[in-house]
Amino acid sequence: MSTSKRPLFDYLKAIGAIVWKDLAAEIRSRELLSAMLVFALLVILIFNFAIELQPALRTTITPGVLWVTFAFAGTLGLNRSMAIEKDRGCLDGLLLAPVDRSAIYFGKAFSNLAFMLIVALIVLPIYSLLYNINIIIPGLLLVVLLGSIGYVAVGTLLSSMAVQTRTRDVLLPVLLFPVIVPVLLAAVKASSGFLQNLPMNEIWPWLNILIAYDVIFIAVAFIVFDYVIEE
């Protein structure tokens, strides 16, 4: 038996290994990112055609359209990310590793966050072009980061539950969307605040909600993941 005696180092190494593995496999297969991207672009295109927006209304509706797009595309990614592990039996391979199982959660969550942010970074400029509105502003990017963290924190936990069931494709959104209402609400309000150039004292409460939600659900996932992932 040849394992090292540095638990924290091994823990971080395991997280890094999962992130590296997910990104390396995705670079080769492109099955997860392409599905998320195509879906996200279709959603903003459909919104573009379906809603004849007055220029004045665009700023108002943009946060809603953006977060609906991220939420639905994110669900596809979360489902696929865990299904890849389950369908090929690799989840057992991860569970057999002699590290705290929360390392699996954090590894998968970081990968999911990377995929969501890549999709967001591609969608935002395309949205700007389609709707003729500049949304590449630092404040909005911060909201996208905080909202995505909250989304994947809960989503990774729930997708690891849903993946154990036969109806995982249906179950994940049913479980996820009610739980992420606070994230979506706060993200939409904060995004709207930045797009409408509202004073920071009106935006901070929403940012605080996002930060609190992120911290709480990461902590909850850290505690319960071991029980959730077991059969």
Partner 1 sequence: MIKVHRLVKRFGAKTVLRGLDFEVKQGEFVALLGPNGAGKTTFLRILASLSRPTLGEVHVSGYALPSQAAAVRARLGVVTHQPLLYGDLTAEENLRFYGRMYGIPEINQKINEVIEILGLTLRRADLVRTFSRGMQQRLAIGRAILHDPEVMLFDEPHTGLDQDACDMLDRLLRDVAGRGRTVVMTSHDLARVENLATRFDVLARGVIAASTARVNLGKYNLLDFYRQSMAGIPGKNVNQQTPVI
Report the interface residues with partner 1, using CB under 8 A: 1-4, 6, 9-10, 13-14, 16-18, 20-21, 24-26, 28-29, 88-90, 92-100, 230-231
Q: How far is the CB of 30 from partner 1 (least distance, A)?
A: 10
* Smallest separation, CB 224 to partner 1 (Å): 15
Residue with tokens 């394992």: 3
Q: Closest distance between partner 1 and the C-beta of residue 26, in Å?
A: 8
Which of residues 28 and 54 has its CB atom nearest to partner 1 in the complex? 28
44 close to 130: Cβ distance less than 8 angstroms: yes
CB of 222 to partner 1, least distance (A): 16
CB of 97 to partner 1, least distance (A): 4
Residue 15 CB, nearest distance to partner 1 (Å)? 10
Instruction: Give 49 or 227: the residue with its C-beta nearer to partner 1.
Output: 227
CB 125 within 8 A of CB 30: no
Environment class of 130 (CB within 10 Å of its CB; exposed 0-12, middle 13-18, buried 19+): middle
